[in-house]
Amino acid sequence: MYDSGKVIIGIAVFLAFVMFPFYINIGVVVEKPEPCLDTPVIQALEIKECVKPAHIMRATHIALLDNWKDLASRYGERLFVTEDKREFDISLQMTCMHCHSNYERFCMECHAFVAIDVGCWECHVVPEKETMR
Amino acid sequence: MISRRQFLKIAGISAACGIGMAATSSFIKAGASRSDDTRDRLIAKRWGMFIDTRKIDENDRERIINACHSIHNVPNFDNPRHAVKWIWTEEFIRAFPEQRGEFIAEKLIQKPILVLCNNCSNPPCVRVCPTQATFKRERDGLVLMDFHRCFGCRYCMAGCPYGARSFNFWDPKPYIEEINPEFPTRMMGVVEKCSFCYQRIDRGIIPACVEVSNGAMVVGDLSDPGSEIRILLREHITIRRRPELGTEPNVFYKI
């Protein structure tokens, strides 16, 4: 191989560069995100279940929110009936945030962990700081 | 060895099954998300508004504008050129320029008139919107905005002959006196306008301006000959803003 010294050094520098995120984090302990469900409204609920079962909400809440957004703002549909016939008003601020009033410890707990920005709060109103727990 | 005839049969049946399944699944999908439940909702085929300008004095105007702007988190920018307006006052002669006659009553010329989005039946803002952020709701003819989709090109502001649309040149949040937690705010770079209080209508409440107008403003279904608004329109002589433009505005003024 011609210039093997330069090539090998080049490969080593390249690998060191692309693997930077891995070795910089060796030994760093990151806590598992624990979204907090402890708000006064949730505590007072009789049936402590969201509009869909928790595992579905965890995986596909953005699909539901996107659907709710279209229903409310484009089609004027404000009634959501769950599978067990509970009724909810379709509204992020008045329904979702009513229970999940702790945006810092509910939304951001996971979203910060996986580094996915939440654009909702650029317009939608976050509940008052003092009601957060 | 498969014969030509058999091959065509199998291919035909598979194609038919595929088309059938696609049609069924799209039908199920559409059926799942929409409900036909209309309870609690104010219903009309074509919303319209009647404004009796003789019943509205200065205090009424202030109260009506405040009611609307506080509910909808409308910012109050310092620079009047950046003002955001959902409902505001315009001098009579600017609101109705075609009424400028040789012997027009002098008291009329500068009379402040409450103006708002006309919810046109033929809305130019909807036609020019490249993202369908502004759209005409099929159910009741309201011209609405989906703020999520607006990317601030301002074609609609050029298209609207009534100046009913405002642009957020800055982040509006610091300029909102008291934020109403039941309605969203907007972000910089988004257009906004009167929404005919669709969020109230869809929950069975009349628009905020009508509620505080002491009967000077009335909303109703223009497609229903027996509705209150149609009776008012039959009894009074009313005018609309710039009808010659063909936008078919649905706000009627008794002068």
Which of these, B219, B147, A103, B220, lies nearest to B135 by C-alpha position?
B147
Q: Which residues of A touch B39 (CB under 8 A)?
A: 79
Q: Indicate the pLDDT class of residue B30, thresholds 50, 70 and 90.
A: very low
Cβ atoms of B68 and B74 within 8 Å: the answer is yes
Say whether B41 and A76 touch across the interface (CB within 8 A). yes
Whole-prediction pTM: 0.83
| Nearest residue in chain A measured CA to CA from B39 | A79
Q: Is the pLDDT of residue A131 over 70?
A: no
Contacts 24+ apart (CB under 8 A), A27-33: A30/A113, A33/A109, A33/A110, A33/A112, A33/A113
* Per-residue confidence band for B24, with pLDDT thresholds at 50, 70 and 90: low
Residues of A in contact with B40 (CB under 8 A): 78-79
- Higher-confidence residue of A130 and B251: namely B251
Q: SS3 of A20, please? A: helix
Q: How far apart are the C-alpha atoms of B138 and B123, rounded to whole Å?
A: 13
Partner B contacted by A94 (CB < 8 A): yes
ipTM of the complex: 0.81
Nearest 5°: phi and psi at B225?
A: -60, -20
Q: What is the pLDDT of residue A130?
A: 42
Q: Looking at CA atoms only, how far is residue B9 from chain A in angstroms?
A: 41
> Nearest Cα to B126, choosing from B183, B69, B191?
B191
Put simply, whether B36 touches A (Cβ < 8 Å) is: no
**Contact criterion met (CB < 8 Å) for A78 and B41:** yes
SS3 string, A45-86, reads: CCCCCCCCCHHHHHHHHHHHHHHHHHHHHCCCCCEEECCCCC
Q: What is the pLDDT of residue B34?
A: 53
> Of the candidates A73, A80, A124, which has its C-beta nearest B146's C-beta?
A73
Contact status of B201 with chain A (Cβ, < 8 Å): yes
Residue B130, classified by CB atoms within 10 Å of its CB into exposed (0-12), middle (13-18) or buried (19+), is: exposed
Average pLDDT over chain B, rounded to an integer = 92
Residues of chain A neighbouring B74 (CB-CB closer than 8 A): none
Q: Which residue of B has its CA nearest to A89?
A: B203
CB contact under 8 A, A73 and B202: no
- Least confidently predicted of A17-31, B105-119, B124-138, B186-200: A17-31
Query: Which sequence spans correspond to the domains of chain B?
Result: 47-254
Could you tell me the fold of the domain covering B47-254? Alpha-Beta Plaits (3.30.70)
Among B34, B35, B186, the residue with its CB nearest the CB of A123 is B186
pLDDT in tens, A32-90: 899 999 999 999 998 899 999 999 999 999 999 999 999 999 999 999 999 999 999 99
B34 touches chain A (CB under 8 A): yes
High-pLDDT (> 70) share of chain B, %: 94
Q: Which residue shows structure tokens 């509970």?
A: A86
* Residue numbers of B between 206 and 245 with CB closer than 8 Å to A: none
Q: Mutation test of the interface with chain B: which of A64, A68, A73, choosing the one with the most B Cβ atoms within 10 A? A: A73
Query: Given CB atoms, is B179 within the 8 Å cutoff of chain A?
Result: yes
Please tell me the predicted confidence (pLDDT) of residue B36. Answer: 58
**pLDDT tens, residue by residue, B70-107:** 999 999 999 999 999 999 999 999 999 999 989 999 99
Which residue type, as a one-letter code, is found at position B170?
Answer: W
CB-CB neighbors (< 8 A) of A71 in chain B: 33-34
Q: Which of A99-103, B13-17, B210-214 comes out lowest in average pLDDT?
A: B13-17
Q: Where are the alpha helices (DSSP H) in B105-182?
A: 106-109, 124-128, 155-159
Q: Do B184 and A77 touch (CB under 8 A)?
A: no
- Given this model, what pLDDT does residue B7 score? 84
Burial B61-74 (b: 16+ CB within 10 A, else e): beebbebbbbbbbb
Asked if A52 reaches chain B (Cβ–Cβ under 8 Å), the answer is no
Q: Higher-confidence residue: B30 or A115?
A: A115
Cα dihedral A71→A73→A76→A78 (10° resolution): 60
The whole-number pLDDT of residue B214 equals: 95
Do B201 and B137 meet the contact criterion of CB atoms below 8 Å apart?
Answer: no
pLDDT at position A97: 92
B178 CA to chain A: closest CA distance, Å?
A: 12
Q: How far apart are CA B197 and CA B206, in angstroms?
A: 8
Q: Which of A67, A70, A76 is closest, CB to CB, to B202? A: A76
Q: Is the Cβ pair A71, B33 closer than 8 Å?
A: yes
Residues A12-17: what's their mean pLDDT?
Answer: 96
Inter-chain residue contact A125 with B137, CB threshold 8 Å: no
Q: How confident is the model at residue B230 (pLDDT cuts 50, 70, 90)?
A: very high
